[in-house]
Amino acid sequence: MKNTVLAYAAALLLLIVADGLWLGLVMPQQYQAWIGPLMRAQPLWLAAGAFYLLYPAGVVVFAVLPALARQSWQRSAGLGGLLGLIAYGTYDLSNLATLEGWPWQLTLVDMAWGAALTAAAAVAGFFAVRAWGQRKA
C-alpha cells in the first residue's frame, strides 16, 4: 500500500507541475488562438481538481504497478505513454468529431503532450517507489 501511495504522490506532483508549466507558460497563447471563444476566463477548479486526483490513480494502476512487477522503468514509460495517448485522444478526437471549429492541430499537439506527460508521470511514480518504497521480501 505504501508503494501505491508513493507512486500516486510522485505521479500527481509531476502532473501538476508539468501541466501547470505547459498550460500556464508554454501554450496559453496558442490555446487562446485555437479555442479562445470556448475558453473560460477562469477554470472550474473543482473539475480541474477532480481530474488531477483521478488521473494519477489511472497512471499508477495501468502503468506504474505493472512496470514495478517487471522492474522495468521502460515499461512504465511505454504503458504511461499509451495511457496518455488513449486518454487525451479520447478527449481530443471526440471534440474534433463533435465540435464545430475544433482544430486538428490542437488535437495532435494535445495527444502528443498527453502521451509524453503521462509517460513522465509513470516514470516518476516508478522511480519514487524504487528510491523510497518498501522492498518486497
* All structural domains of the chain with their residue ranges: 2-132
Label residues 2-21 b or e (16+ Cβ within 10 Å = b). Answer: ebbebbbbbbbebbeebbee
Predicted confidence at residue 134, as pLDDT, reads: 75
Distance between CA atoms of 8 and 124, rounded to whole angstroms? Answer: 9
Predicted confidence at residue 136, as pLDDT, reads: 61
Predicted confidence at residue 137, as pLDDT, reads: 44
Residue written as grid cell 521480501: 137
Mark residue 134 as left, alpha or beta (left: phi above 0; alpha: psi -120 to 50; beta: remaining): beta
Which positions of the chain have pLDDT values less than 50? 137
Closest residue by Cα to residue 52 from 118, 131, 124: 118
